[in-house]
Structure 1
Amino acid sequence: MFFCDFLGEETGRKLSGHSYCWVVDPHDGTADFLAGRIGSSVSVGLLHKGAPVLGVVYAPVTSRGPDCIAWQQGMRSLLRNGQSIALSATDRGLHGSIVFVSAAAESKRAENDVLCAPAVCEPMPSIAYRLARAAAGDGVAGVSLYGVSPHDVVAGHALLLAAGGNLFDQDGQPIRYTTPAEFSSPVTRCFGGERAACLTLLTRPWSTLVSPPRPELGTDV
């Protein structure tokens, strides 16, 4: 048996300082799922000394059917539903691409398209699945305009790193995990995907879309 630390959204935490820590969200996008929207996901990540080294994001109900995107350190490519994904070696940029945003953006789609231009937005639940789809090349970036916790993003972060991207905070700094329980600094927004696209997106006035209150437990980000 392999003993290590564990951090879960609903399943508690065991943080002893072990070099490995599983980070799990058993259902990312619960509120949207209960509202009948598709695209929620199971997110399983593994940190080694604070670095994401494994990510599995499984969305059981999507427009393309069940969708599982996975990677572990040492693999040369991502796996999508058991098949290797050929990854682009160059940044595509925002032009002609897609930025994955929260399902709440559906009610302000035009405003989100302006902020994502020259890309267009695609609203969907689950920040984990947004990041996974960006890593898989379906779009150029995934965005959350609300604070995120490690269980929301570690698995997606691992996938992005494998694809040559990264995950950035509201100041454009790559997100780090000083301990398995917290980020190195408060993260009020995150932008994950190709570096140039993310650094462009984070300069846009996203605050015009965000209501002041932080989402309650279970609210999608």
Structure 2
Amino acid sequence: MSAHTTCPPEFLALAHAMADAAAEAIRPWFRKRIAVDAKADASPVTIADRNAETVMRGMIETAFPEHGIRGEEFGVCRSDADWIWVLDPIDGTKSFLSGSFAFGTQIALLHRGEPVLGLINQPITGERWLGTDAAATLNGEPIRTSDKTGLAEAILYTSAPEQFDRVGHDRFAALAAKVSFSRFSHDCYAAGMLALGGIDLLVESNVFDYDILPQMPIVEAAGGIVTDWRGGRLSMPVDTRLC
């Protein structure tokens, strides 16, 4: 997270308003039998994903038309803007489709490439994680990551083991053999649990900018660290290939 840029209050207010609006667009479709389309990468997308992103993009265009937008469903506009919103309307679409609560709407705000705000909202349970330079919170209450230091005590999560290549799978399996226990299939909800201190390690592979950028300010403000697989500071620029 940027050490020098504070998120202006009007931008924070917009993030909350977009999360509310996206939730309104998603809730009518939860646990309903809806059509599912396959994207180019074979991942599923629904009317709920598209409607939620559409409403958020419209709110940005109305409030701050000079800001850039990078959304999972509809790509990038104004990628050279100082302020860029990164939107993942439903992170965990497979969980959403199967009726699980382990999904959420993710929103990040970048200033000159650095995330200064991250938000995860669970539209059904009403849980909302927020991370800024000031603090990490869950529904307005401060949260902190776990204080465990022993690997044998740690709880390890990953979203989908099939996302790992052979080498990555072997490395994950070696780590999983050393922790207390591991669980799968929680997507962005796992990042919220990491910031809350319920789990200790979250290891992912083959993620996109809209997957991880909203999570970084929350985890870091809660006292956690976000690294690449070599232990270095994660660098995740906005993907502009869809411009």
Q: TM-score, normalised by structure 2?
A: 0.60
Q: Are residues 1:28 and 2:91 paired?
A: yes
Name 2:232's counterpart in structure 1. Answer: 173
Name 1:17's counterpart in structure 2. Answer: 80
Aligned length: 169
CA distance in 2 between partners of 1:31 and 1:94 (Å): 30
Taking a change above 3 Å as real, the CA distance of residues 18 and 114 of structure 1, as seen in their structure-2 partners, is closer
CA distance in 2 between partners of 1:116 and 1:15 (Å): 45
Taking a change above 3 Å as real, the CA distance of residues 33 and 16 of structure 1, as seen in their structure-2 partners, is closer
Taking a change above 3 Å as real, the CA distance of residues 124 and 66 of structure 1, as seen in their structure-2 partners, is farther
CA distance in 1 between partners of 2:174 and 2:104 (Å): 24
Could you give the per-residue CA deviations for residues 78-97 of structure 1, whole angstroms, max 9, x where no partner exists?
11122222x36956343323
CA distance in 2 between partners of 1:31 and 1:89 (Å): 28
RMSD: 2.7
Q: Are residues 1:117 and 2:178 paired?
A: yes
Percent of aligned pairs sharing the same letter:
27
Give the unaligned 5+ runs of structure 1. Answer: 106-110, 183-221
CA distance in 1 between partners of 2:100 and 2:202 (Å): 18
Structure 2 counterpart of 1:160, one-letter code: V
CA distance in 2 between partners of 1:82 and 1:113 (Å): 37
Name 1:132's counterpart in structure 2. Answer: 192
Could you give the per-residue CA deviations for residues 128-185 of structure 1, whole angstroms, max 9, x where no partner exists?
322222122111121223x1111011110111221232222233322113x4227xxx
CA distance in 2 between partners of 1:91 and 1:52 (Å): 27
Could you give the per-residue CA deviations for residues 2-42 of structure 1, whole angstroms, max 9, x where no partner exists?
32111000132113412211111000010222123331110
* SS, match of residue 238 in structure 2: coil
Q: Are residues 1:38 and 2:101 paired?
A: yes
Name 1:195's counterpart in structure 2. Answer: none
Deviation at 1:116, TM superposition (A): 5.3
Taking a change above 3 Å as real, the CA distance of residues 81 and 116 of structure 1, as seen in their structure-2 partners, is farther
Structure 1 counterpart of 2:127, one-letter code: D
1:79 to 134, 137, 150: 137
Deviation at 1:117, TM superposition (A): 2.4
Higher strand share: 1
Taking a change above 3 Å as real, the CA distance of residues 90 and 96 of structure 1, as seen in their structure-2 partners, is closer
Deviation at 1:114, TM superposition (A): 6.4
Taking a change above 3 Å as real, the CA distance of residues 20 and 101 of structure 1, as seen in their structure-2 partners, is same
CA contact (8 A) 1:102 1:123 kept: yes
CA contact (8 A) 2:69 2:79 kept: no
Give the unaligned 5+ runs of structure 2. Answer: 1-62, 163-171
Name 1:208's counterpart in structure 2. Answer: none
1:100 to 149, 157, 174: 157
2:211 to 152, 155, 178: 152
Q: TM-score, normalised by structure 1?
A: 0.66
CA distance in 2 between partners of 1:116 and 1:138 (Å): 19
Deviation at 1:52, TM superposition (A): 1.3
Q: In terms of Rg, which structure is larger? A: 2
Deviating beyond 4 angstroms after TM superposition, the runs of 4 or more aligned structure 1 residues are: 88-91, 111-114
Higher helix share: 2
* SS, match of residue 189 in structure 2: helix
Deviation at 1:125, TM superposition (A): 2.7
